[in-house]
Structure 1
Amino acid sequence: MQQLVQRRRRDGLVARTAERELFRGSFDTPPEDEEHRFLFHVHGNAGVGKTFLLRDFERIARERGALTAYVDESAHSVPEVLAELCRQVAAQGHRFKELDRLLATHRERLHEAEAAALAALDPEPAGGPSAGSMAVARAGLAGLGLIPGAGAFAGVLDPAHVAQGADRLRAVLGARFRSHEDVQLVLSPESVLTPVLTKEITDAASSVPWIVLFFDTYERTGAFLDGWLHDVMTTDRHGALPATVVVVTAGRHPLDTAHWGGFGDFTAALPLQPFTEGETRGLLADRGVTAEPVVTEVLRLTGGLPVLVSTLAATRPAGPDDVHDPSATAVDRFLKWEPDPVRRSAALAGALPRLLDADVFRAVADGDPEQLDELYGWLTTLPFADERAGRLRYHDVVRAPMLRLQRRRSPRGWAERQRRLADRFRAWREEAETGRDAGRLWADEEWRELRLAESYHLLCAGDREAPSMVLRGLVDVCDQGESVAGRWLDVLEEAGRDAELRTVAAWGRQLSRALADGGTEAVLDRLLTDSGFGAVVVDALGSTNVTRPPGGPADWGTPVPGAARERHAEERRVADRDADDRDAEGPYAAGPGRGVALAPGTAARVYRGRAVSRAVRGDYRAALTDLDRALTLTPDDARSRALRGEYLRILRRHDDAVRDLERAVALDPAHDYAWASLGATRLALGDPAAALAALDRALALTPDYPWALIRRARVRRELGESEGRLADLDRAVTLQPDSPWAHCERGDALRAAGRDEEALAAYDRALGLDPGYASAYASRGVTRFHLGRPADALADLDRALELNPSYAWARAQRDEVVRHRDG
């Protein structure tokens, strides 16, 4: 009975009736009917009720037995969207098992991308690699998923450049990710994941009448989703999508006509405007608010903006209070009919964090734990507090004036609460660090989110070291890819907006544009070349006495004394590119004599990060230039030395490589990567005994190091240690069962031992994982020849030469087979 009553009350609402009826009607129209719509797009300004309507659509869809999933801006890439879809459909009793497995592999391979570019390279190109054009470089980075919206489905890059860039990256990553699928999961994850998604959806469609997918906040997610979604829905390149799938998107803007202009016959646009006076009165009456003075006040204050109407209606005001008070703020209006001052204070405190849960609320609000738990429960009922994945997020329309009120009413109280939150997030971050390898923390999403929250609140508190901390963190997250770097830049923009730090907000916008234009390499370029980041201003009074936040690294910022500071500020002043930000004031305002230089350690990290980005796209000479600059600033940095040595090895400058790698291990004897690279370099110089010693050291430090195991197997081949060679390769295959490189090397060892049948199985496994592996074809051809199968041998050797026409060893082996056949 209660469900029927609630349904009739919902259906009786005058607000958004037409939109709900149009959507409901789609389930009564067969997909074959020309009136059926496969795509609904809700659009309108912030606060018009897009999310509320989507949630109502989701309820309607589930009433019709649909399997549903809802994704918002918390997802920053297509793989993250797919992971959220998997989670939600599983909660409804359906498992996308294969997609779940591939997503887990994608995450692992993405974290290994840097290692693949540094530790598992073996391109060995004749004459050394070329730099390539910037367009090809960007296309390659897009293929890596490092430029949202510029992937294989965005339709904005030259397909030839995408292919060329992807091929170059395959060559760089090939030694580590010999599996073709693994390479594609890094280079173009959508191309691997999407066909699996369509198959999973097709399987699910056999047991449910409808599948409805909701994509909210499309003004943010559309940058990477729109082109992909267009391809999935309008082409068959990823497989057939069941006709019972309905997609609903919601954002501030209409659909992009470049993608959807020719598909109006199966889309429905639902523009939302603020409520009319009649709709507002109807909603208020439904909540029991009918007194004319109160209704008049709500109409005046909200302008029909649904989120405000709903917020005020939910408080069920009995009468207007101080309606003529000209100093009343928007926040006073939101809470003016809430008589309990404790609740009012709790609502304001809850606005301070970007995301709120019970633990965060206890850190920012005042009161005993039992009272705080009760207050948090009350907060979850407020119309403007949207609960997502167990966390609350205030609607921007409400949160923004709440933040302004607190900041202007009590600047010291604002700063104190922001510091309190920063301290709490720092404590949680340090707790998460306990017993962990510091070098792996940046790959941990949970740890990064704690560091992000800490940074946001330090910026809002006006902490003088916070900008240096955030920019230093940005250098580190650039190693994790563009989507992670984008979240870091969001914090700069959000803190700049929420705390009215115009310079900080401008930094965020400028770096975000650089990220969109050229990926993480462009961000690092900007940090190194733009005067706005060369001098981070931390003291509005010009003092050089800075106090580092607790737990902060020593190189967050280094004061520049006296005349040197004046010169630095003059040379590297903050260049705010937005005219409306040139009058910025506050703790981060720019000005001569108030600069704090990026510390040498921080600047060196920027150069090193850019070197890695350049190496990923095969431009090792440019990478060396950056590493030279990094080592000028920090000559005793073992990691930069090791990277420089590896890049020199790849460029066949082996003597120079040995000098850098020996220096690296002298600086850090526990640097396994440097020892492994040193071993490979010594082998190239014809010293297998020294190579073995270095690789033994690397594997003593990290026994499960597949690249070092395979390299040591090559050394043992030179030393004639056939049993040890095979043992190393057996271990490498166990550690990386999906590595074509490991299987191919093991096949070579088996063939050398006269075990051709086993070698053939190893080559078959390698080619099953990577059908384009020229070396495996050539080696399998030789093995087939040994087994008395010359026709099959020629077919394999021809295929190897087709894939690599300059493959001299394969051509020599083919000539031998032909001579044997003809003679």
Structure 2
Amino acid sequence: MVSFQDLIKRQQAGGFIGRGDHLARFDENLRLPLEDPRRRLLFTVHGNAGVGKSFLANQFIRLSREAGRLTGYVDESSVDLAGALGAIARDFASQDARCKNLSDRLDAYRKRQEQLDPELRDELASLLTKGTVRLGLKAAQDIPVVGGMLGILDDKAAAEKTDKLRAQVTRKIRDRQDVRLVLSPVEELTKAFLQDLALLAKRKPVSLFLDTFERTGTFLEPWLLDLFAGRFGELPADLIITVSGQHALNVNVWGPYLGVRQDIPLDVFTSVEARQLLATRGITDEEIVTVLLSLSGRLPVWLAMLAESGPVNRDEVGDASGDVVERFLKWVPDQRLRNAALWGALPRKLDQDVFAVASGSESPAEDFAWLRAQPFVSERADGWRYHEVVRSAMIRVQRRVSLSDYYERHRKLADYFDTRSQQSGAFFRDAIDERYHSFSAGDDPQATSLIRLLCLIAAVETDLIRQATATLEQAGRDNDLPVVEQHGAQLNALAADQVHGQLSLLTELLKDDVLQAVHRGLAHSALARHFVDQDQPEAALPHLGAAIRWRPDEPVEHFRRGVVLAKLKRHEEALTDFTRAVELEPDEVIPLYFRGMAHRELDNLVEAELDLGHAVHLAPDDAYYLEIHADLLITLGQPQKALVDLDRAVELAPDDGWIWQSRAFAQLLVGAVPEAATAIAKARSMDADDQESRLLQALVDVAEQRETEHFAALLDDPEVPNLIRSVCMAGLNRNAEAEELLRSRLENTARPQVLITARQYFELLQRYTGQDMSTYIELLQAKLDSSA
């Protein structure tokens, strides 16, 4: 079905003149056989602003669709890979081609992100641009805590952070596929995209268009290189990708693909191309043509704009002097439409509501429809935008005609975006626009509020850092304040560095005198997160200390330092910070939970149970907190109380195998053998089929007086720790070996929780086999007493 937008593009295409050789080459390429050596898989369009890159890309899209191809488009409205893939999926859907796998994984990714604690989300935030995380996880503790692993060890120190992240995510998200999605979003989302691409390409070939690459390339270029290298899997053979931006691709990086690439550098129109465009608009009088060529400098965007509403006779043309925008406005016959063109340039992006505020039009729908049809306005994923060259010129005219009117309209736009930021789900995006318009209204000549907002964005919404720095630069440029423009350009250049960008940006921001205590605290907090992301927790601590000095009563700063100290196994100090966070925000569950876990790490089991019990009270519908509290109650010898939590947890998360595993253990301890048998069967049918599940299965088999193969199978597994091995040996009546192994193991340090769990296993063996296990139980109790 032909859409309204398709009709617009067809009409626009009808007047598209110039670049004929590029269009012909692209069109020919669409029709070449796959094996033809002249066929190109990658087109790269580059040139200065105003030369028609995006317009040429739109013509490539038109040609692709006319050739029966499916097209996907990405521009700077996407700030990360998830957003870019989402934009492609929406574009495909508008052509009746749904990316089911990708859409489902994007929905799952966003949903799972919301489930994670803020600190864990912070640690995972950079994975969308930094690639994937190794998924290996090795259980190397003697006895896992029921329902999960007490500790994680890896034979490669460099992978320790990854495994810890995976462990934390696994405890919150039990579905294995979703764990991989959260830990490796680039890889998992791309694989889903390629699955859809393979299916869709069977119906029709696909073309992808990556526009404004000077902005999107920071996250799209590494991804695109990985696609070409086959890292994520095979691409359809007939896929064609077009990249357009201000700069040519780095030949050192893209050299291996020169044989499949068509480079298209764009410059201003030639005299012949310019005259052809004017001729299509009925402008052939040499005097008029000469003036228009001079006014436009043959820059395509200017020429198209002037031709759209240009003079029809010599009396209107005058000479070649004067501003090109004023000439264009002079030739628009309706004053209302002239105002629409001028005032519509004030916002950086447009929809009808924003246009109505900027213009004050009494007929905004009609005027906005006219504006959208102009050659210098194009539709993007986040609304409509003026071509930047035209917008800048329009703004200069407004400032020259009436600075007070210019200020007043920006003031109204600032109020609009301030209100919208409180109501929409895109607070920071709208807040950036509000700060831009406040600055442009003359109310904030040093861009103080925008710089302060940048500190907040760096601390909590890092995906928008580049957008904020670019806005600062643009605000200075649009309002003819070179000091602000240069400062924005400096910060934008720093932010563009993928390796050291955030560190350099924040270091520079801290030099700015306009920052207040809260913003300095936020900047230090963001610096701390940078070092945590780089796996340098020790380097993060000074910045966390500074953040606390600047914001001593902000619970999140104490909490974040506690998290870093806990990672460094400095649990006593972490406990102090978590306690302060709880004091400042006693009804917040997350700091309370972390304090409970710190107590548990310090073997303060009673205190840990109090905190985790309070966490359950504050969040009674969180299955994770219920399970963790239940595990601790089991360790404290209160399985009946634990079952109250576990029954509720099962209601909330019936597909969570780890909860069923914990429930099976508690039911064995209270003598509910049939219920334990049901629970362990459910656990093992889900994801919870580890060493502990197999041991519990063996104990259930013994309790039901059945032969069991699981003791022997566990002993055949070299990864099974010695405490579990000793339990298995005792279950097989290999008592001398079991006692020798247990005594040998107890010569080394062991956590009280590990010892208690092992003792409970031996007590279950004694109860259900009738054999005397007192030797093992007494050895474990003696070790517990000596370590108390």
Name the TM-score, length of structure 2 as normaliser.
Answer: 0.79
C-alpha separation in 1, matches of 2:100 and 2:510? 46
The answer to whether residue 309 in structure 2 is matched with residue 315 in structure 1 is yes
The Cα of 1:399 is off from its aligned counterpart by: 0.7
Give the counterpart of 2:329 among 335, 338, 342. Answer: 335
The answer to whether residue 88 in structure 2 is matched with residue 85 in structure 1 is yes
The Cα of 1:102 is off from its aligned counterpart by: 0.8
The Cα of 1:448 is off from its aligned counterpart by: 2.1
The answer to whether residue 595 in structure 2 is matched with residue 678 in structure 1 is yes
SS for the counterpart of 1:191 is: helix
| Structure 1 pair 660–40 and aligned structure 2 pair: CA distance change class (3 A) | closer
The Cα of 1:421 is off from its aligned counterpart by: 0.9
Give the counterpart of 2:384 among 366, 376, 392. Answer: 392
C-alpha separation in 2, matches of 1:65 and 1:509? 42
**What's the % identity of the aligned pairs?**
34
Q: Partner of 2:616 in structure 1?
A: 699
The Cα of 1:603 is off from its aligned counterpart by: 2.2
1:498-517 alignment to 2 at 5 Å?
498-517=478-497
Can you list the C-alpha shifts for 1:502-529, whole angstroms capped at 9, x where unaligned?
333344333334434467x9646754x4
1:145-294 alignment to 2 at 5 Å?
145=128, 148=129, 150-151=130-131, 166-167=162-163, 169-170=165-166, 173=169, 175-177=171-173, 179-208=175-204, 210-235=205-230, 237-294=231-288
| Structure 1 pair 107–94 and aligned structure 2 pair: CA distance change class (3 A) | same
Q: Partner of 2:696 in structure 1?
A: 783
Can you list the C-alpha shifts for 1:630-653, whole angstroms capped at 9, x where unaligned?
333333323333344454455555
C-alpha separation in 2, matches of 1:77 and 1:646? 27
Q: Partner of 1:144 in structure 2?
A: 127
C-alpha separation in 1, matches of 2:730 and 2:258? 63
Q: Partner of 1:379 in structure 2?
A: 371
Q: Partner of 2:397 in structure 1?
A: 405
C-alpha separation in 2, matches of 1:673 and 1:243? 49
Can you list the C-alpha shifts for 1:254-290, whole angstroms capped at 9, x where unaligned?
3332343223332222333322111111111111112
SS for the counterpart of 1:801 is: coil
Counterpart amino acid of residue 71 in structure 2 = T
C-alpha separation in 2, matches of 1:518 and 1:215? 19
C-alpha separation in 1, matches of 2:16 and 2:445? 52
The Cα of 1:706 is off from its aligned counterpart by: 4.2
Q: Partner of 2:462 in structure 1?
A: 482
The Cα of 1:98 is off from its aligned counterpart by: 1.6
Is the 1:601–1:633 contact (alpha carbons within 8 Å) kept by the matching residues of 2? Answer: yes
Can you list the C-alpha shifts for 1:673-708, whole angstroms capped at 9, x where unaligned?
222223333444555454344333333333333443
Q: Partner of 1:25 in structure 2?
A: 28
Can you list the C-alpha shifts for 1:325-358, whole angstroms capped at 9, x where unaligned?
74x2232133231133332222111111000111
Q: Partner of 1:549 in structure 2?
A: none
1:475-554 alignment to 2 at 5 Å?
475-517=455-497, 523=502, 526-527=505-506, 529-530=507-508, 533-536=510-513
Give the counterpart of 1:63 among 60, 63, 66. Answer: 66
Is the 1:496–1:503 contact (alpha carbons within 8 Å) kept by the matching residues of 2? Answer: yes
Is the 1:777–1:800 contact (alpha carbons within 8 Å) kept by the matching residues of 2? Answer: no
Can you list the C-alpha shifts for 1:480-516, whole angstroms capped at 9, x where unaligned?
4532222222222221222233333344333334434
Counterpart amino acid of residue 227 in structure 2 = V
Can you list the C-alpha shifts for 1:17-43, whole angstroms capped at 9, x where unaligned?
222222222233221222322222222
The answer to whether residue 344 in structure 2 is matched with residue 423 in structure 1 is no
SS for the counterpart of 1:76 is: coil
The Cα of 1:426 is off from its aligned counterpart by: 1.0
SS for the counterpart of 1:289 is: coil
C-alpha separation in 2, matches of 1:812 and 1:323? 100
Counterpart amino acid of residue 302 in structure 1 = S
C-alpha separation in 1, matches of 2:324 and 2:56? 24
SS for the counterpart of 1:766 is: coil
Can you list the C-alpha shifts for 1:405-463, whole angstroms capped at 9, x where unaligned?
2234433332222222101111222344xxxxxxxxxxx4x222221210111222233
C-alpha separation in 2, matches of 1:647 and 1:513? 30
C-alpha separation in 2, matches of 1:525 and 1:49? 34
Is the 2:660–2:682 contact (alpha carbons within 8 Å) kept by the matching residues of 1? Answer: no
Give the counterpart of 1:461 among 429, 433, 441. Answer: 441
Is the 1:216–1:251 contact (alpha carbons within 8 Å) kept by the matching residues of 2? Answer: yes
SS for the counterpart of 1:206 is: helix
SS for the counterpart of 1:387 is: strand
Q: Partner of 1:639 in structure 2?
A: 556
Counterpart amino acid of residue 604 in structure 1 = G
Counterpart amino acid of residue 486 in structure 1 = R
C-alpha separation in 2, matches of 1:163 and 1:663? 32
Counterpart amino acid of residue 217 in structure 1 = T
Can you list the C-alpha shifts for 1:281-321, whole angstroms capped at 9, x where unaligned?
11111111122211111111222221111111111421354
Is the 1:682–1:688 contact (alpha carbons within 8 Å) kept by the matching residues of 2? Answer: yes
The Cα of 1:51 is off from its aligned counterpart by: 1.7
SS for the counterpart of 2:268 is: coil
Unaligned runs of 5+ in 2: 134-155, 739-788
| Structure 1 pair 721–427 and aligned structure 2 pair: CA distance change class (3 A) | same
Is the 1:212–1:246 contact (alpha carbons within 8 Å) kept by the matching residues of 2? Answer: yes
Counterpart amino acid of residue 777 in structure 1 = D
C-alpha separation in 1, matches of 2:40 and 2:645? 59
1:509-658 alignment to 2 at 5 Å?
509-517=489-497, 523=502, 526-527=505-506, 529-530=507-508, 533-536=510-513, 596=514, 598-615=515-532, 619-658=536-575
The Cα of 1:626 is off from its aligned counterpart by: 3.0
C-alpha separation in 2, matches of 1:455 and 1:618? 34
The Cα of 1:111 is off from its aligned counterpart by: 5.0
Give the counterpart of 1:801 among 716, 719, 728. Answer: 719
| Structure 1 pair 201–661 and aligned structure 2 pair: CA distance change class (3 A) | closer
Give the counterpart of 2:52 among 49, 66, 70. Answer: 49
The Cα of 1:732 is off from its aligned counterpart by: 4.5
Give the counterpart of 1:720 among 637, 641, 644. Answer: 637
Is the 1:726–1:749 contact (alpha carbons within 8 Å) kept by the matching residues of 2? Answer: yes
Give the counterpart of 1:304 among 298, 303, 328. Answer: 298
C-alpha separation in 2, matches of 1:779 and 1:614? 36
Q: Partner of 1:156 in structure 2?
A: none
Is the 2:13–2:59 contact (alpha carbons within 8 Å) kept by the matching residues of 1? Answer: no
Name the TM-score, length of structure 1 as normaliser.
Answer: 0.76
Q: Partner of 1:765 in structure 2?
A: 686
Is the 1:40–1:249 contact (alpha carbons within 8 Å) kept by the matching residues of 2? Answer: yes
SS for the counterpart of 2:203 is: coil
| Structure 1 pair 217–687 and aligned structure 2 pair: CA distance change class (3 A) | closer
Larger Rg: 2
| Structure 1 pair 262–522 and aligned structure 2 pair: CA distance change class (3 A) | closer
| Structure 1 pair 315–671 and aligned structure 2 pair: CA distance change class (3 A) | same
C-alpha separation in 1, matches of 2:340 and 2:658? 59
C-alpha separation in 2, matches of 1:499 and 1:8? 35
Aligned residues: 700
Counterpart amino acid of residue 412 in structure 2 = R
C-alpha separation in 1, matches of 2:601 and 2:584? 23
The answer to whether residue 91 in structure 2 is matched with residue 96 in structure 1 is no
| Structure 1 pair 710–13 and aligned structure 2 pair: CA distance change class (3 A) | closer
SS for the counterpart of 1:214 is: strand
Is the 1:729–1:742 contact (alpha carbons within 8 Å) kept by the matching residues of 2? Answer: yes
Counterpart amino acid of residue 81 in structure 1 = A
C-alpha separation in 2, matches of 1:515 and 1:742? 44
Counterpart amino acid of residue 439 in structure 2 = L
| Structure 1 pair 679–504 and aligned structure 2 pair: CA distance change class (3 A) | same
Unaligned runs of 5+ in 1: 120-139, 154-159, 433-443, 537-595, 768-775
